Structure 1
Amino acid sequence: MLLKKIAQYMSTTSGFTIKTAPFTKQDWIAVSQIYKEGIATGIATFETQIPTWNDWNALHIKTCRIKAVNDNTIIGWTALSPTSKRNTYKGVAEISIYISTKHRNLGIGKILLEKLINESEKAGFWSLQASIFSDNKASIALHKSLGFREIGYREKIGKLNNIWYDNTILERRSEIII
């Protein structure tokens, strides 16, 4: 029974074992450092500073917060945030996914996103959305590899360091929740 509640997932990729599990406030230091690395890329988020745990926590759905762990080190994470406060959209969420700099392009993003898709459907989400910098080709390819389809883009949606950026919009509709 306890093992079902923990709901950990293990996968081997690129010669090492990845364990996925929910993350909590106690993981915030490691999670926020990976977020900081994403901020530094300039094509992962319009954020320029790491939020506090309380600020981040208030904006993200309490379920479906998943970390990827190798050798007791968090190497990536993913989470959902609501797209609307309206009840009719309660099954629609936006994805955030970040992988540590040292562990990119090793398949960890795919492991995390697959787990997030499964957990989101268990939690009743029927549609996942991703708004990705159009220059972030790796993230767009990752999402498309797991059934997301491009539904459009937002031209010059925001400025970062005084440069306008476009976002590519992708969505994945659950085949389980109809």
Structure 2
Amino acid sequence: MEETENLSLELMTADDWPAVRTIYIEGIVTGDATFETSASGWEAWDAAHLCTCRLVARLCDETIGWAALTPVSGRCVYAGVAEVSIYIAKRMRGRKVGQRLLAALVEKSEEQGIWTLQAGIFPENIASIEAHKRCGFRVVGVREKMGKMNGVWRDVVLMERRSRIL
């Protein structure tokens, strides 16, 4: 088991996209990370995510995880509310990489004036739910039958975290 003591968390750049996309696809394949069935190209992904709140986790110069925020609305009243995306390379799951990334993303979001973070997580993704709880998120509720995946209705656990400093 590879140690994560030398883990570094850095701002994501366009050069990170191939590794970020690969990790995202690994998450898609699980069937428990997202409703998406394919990864977009860099331009679409870049346009959808806040440029100030994108992080990658590296171990020995290899990107092993990423986290980013998406605005929940274009309306100015919701300018401080964003949705969390976090994905960890398959071989690195279960080593607290996600929790460390999420904690850093929370800190970064508060630096950017974001007062509420939300996450929609499939109930089967227990590791993600627990990591979010450890980073101050709470379960708001379960949104039943949010969408169909492979012909099966899927529920989504809605979690949120309110800034303690804003």
**TM category, shorter:** over 0.9
Question: Distance between the aligned counterparts of 1:152 and 1:15, measured in 2?
Answer: 33
Q: Does structure 2 conserve the Cα–Cα contact (< 8 Å) formed by 1:76 and 1:99?
A: yes
1:120 counterpart (109, 112, 116): 109
Q: Does structure 2 conserve the Cα–Cα contact (< 8 Å) formed by 1:121 and 1:176?
A: yes
Question: Distance between the aligned counterparts of 1:153 and 1:14, measured in 2?
Answer: 35
Q: Does structure 1 conserve the Cα–Cα contact (< 8 Å) formed by 2:142 and 2:158?
A: yes
What is the CA distance between 1:134 and its match in structure 2? 1.3
State the partner residue of 2:17: 28
**TM-score, normalized by length of structure 1?**
0.90
**TM-score, normalized by length of structure 2?**
0.97
Q: Does structure 1 conserve the Cα–Cα contact (< 8 Å) formed by 2:103 and 2:135?
A: yes
- 1:86-141 per-residue CA deviation (whole Å, 9 max, x = no partner) reads 10110000000000000000010111001000000000000000000111111011
- 1:2-27 per-residue CA deviation (whole Å, 9 max, x = no partner) reads xxxxxxxxxxx945310000111111
Is the aligned partner of 1:60 residue 2:49?
Answer: yes
Question: Distance between the aligned counterparts of 1:116 and 1:14, measured in 2?
Answer: 22
Q: Does structure 2 conserve the Cα–Cα contact (< 8 Å) formed by 1:152 and 1:168?
A: yes
Question: Distance between the aligned counterparts of 1:116 and 1:146, measured in 2?
Answer: 10
Report SS of the residue matched to 1:17.
coil
Residue ranges of structure 2 left out of the alignment (5+ in a row): none
Residue ranges of structure 1 left out of the alignment (5+ in a row): 1-12
Q: How many residues align?
A: 165
Question: Distance between the aligned counterparts of 1:16 and 1:75, measured in 2?
Answer: 13
Superposed CA RMSD: 1.1
Identity %, equivalent residues? 48
Question: Distance between the aligned counterparts of 1:15 and 1:66, measured in 2?
Answer: 16
Is the aligned partner of 1:107 residue 2:121?
Answer: no
